[in-house]
Amino acid sequence: MCGPLRSCERAGLTLLQIIFKAKDPYNPKSWSNAVHFNFTGYDTEPFWDVDGKTYITGAHAWQVG
């Protein structure tokens, strides 16, 4: 079972992400089809602003060395 967001594939630093929605997360038939999007980084999550806008936030991988 996929969570609301997860990394599916890595291509350089840009990760292919997917997001789902469900009215009832315990009912497999209520889940939407996956929506794919690219994000440079990982650990993505939705953020709902007070003005009604929705953003995807996450962390960025930095090379240390």
* pLDDT per position as a tens digit, 2-40: 334 444 344 345 667 888 899 999 999 999 999 988 888
- Helix (H) / strand (E) element for 45: namely strand 42-48
Strand, helix or coil at 38?
A: strand
**pTM: predicted TM-score of the whole model, two decimal places:** 0.55
Long-range pairs for 28-36: beta carbons < 8 A, 24 or more residues apart: 34/2, 36/8
Residue 64 has pLDDT above 60, yes or no: no
- 11, amino acid identity: A
Domain boundaries, the chain: 5-59
- pLDDT for the residue numbered 8: 37
> What was the pLDDT predicted at 14?
64
- Please give the Cα distance from 49 to 53 (Å, whole number): 5
Q: What is the pLDDT of residue 58?
A: 87
